Amino acid sequence: MAEISIRKARQIIKGTFAKGREMELKPLSVIVLDAGGHVKAFEREDGAAPGRFAIAQGKAYGAVMLGMAGTAQMARAEQQAYFMAAVNGVYGGQVVPVPGGVLVRDKKGAVIGAVGVTGDTSDNDAEAALAGLALAQLEGEI
């Protein structure tokens, strides 16, 4: 399956945490999913709340499953709340439709996975994710 290698996944996590420290954000949690929505890597910084795995996963999972990043999901949720609620239902309650769910594509435009970041504001989470992707020489769609 197309996926972000474990080496690249570690770089994404490292770069996201580094940006979080630089921006003085709250402790972050970062997940990297493959193109099928399955977990490749995850880290939760010391001091982050225990339930952060599910939030990070929810942000990234919706992005992969719908082929739609967090910002676009949030726009849809603002317009048609019942639609995103229903989408969440069909995906077993695993979708968190806000920024911080970042879609990752290869150079031909095919989705190879997603990154989910949580811990600070949604916009800061997304900014830190992009820094992580940059360290891994990947581009993200927030």
Residue numbers of the site for its own copies (CB under 8 A)?
A: 1-3, 5-6, 9-10, 34-46, 48-51, 53-55, 57-58, 64-68, 77-78, 80-98, 110-112
Residue 31, token pair as written in the block: 């997940």
Nearer to its own copies, 22 or 93 (CB): 93
Closest approach of its own copies to the CB of residue 115, in Å: 14
Closest approach of its own copies to the CB of residue 55, in Å: 6
Total residues belonging to the chain: 142
Closest approach of its own copies to the CB of residue 65, in Å: 3
Closest approach of its own copies to the CB of residue 18, in Å: 14
With beta carbons less than 8 A apart as the criterion, state whether 68 and 103 touch: yes
> CB under 8 Å to 47, separation ≥6 — which residues?
26, 27
Radius of gyration in angstroms for the set of CA atoms belonging to the chain, rounded to a whole number: 14
Closest CA to 87 of 77, 75, 98: 77
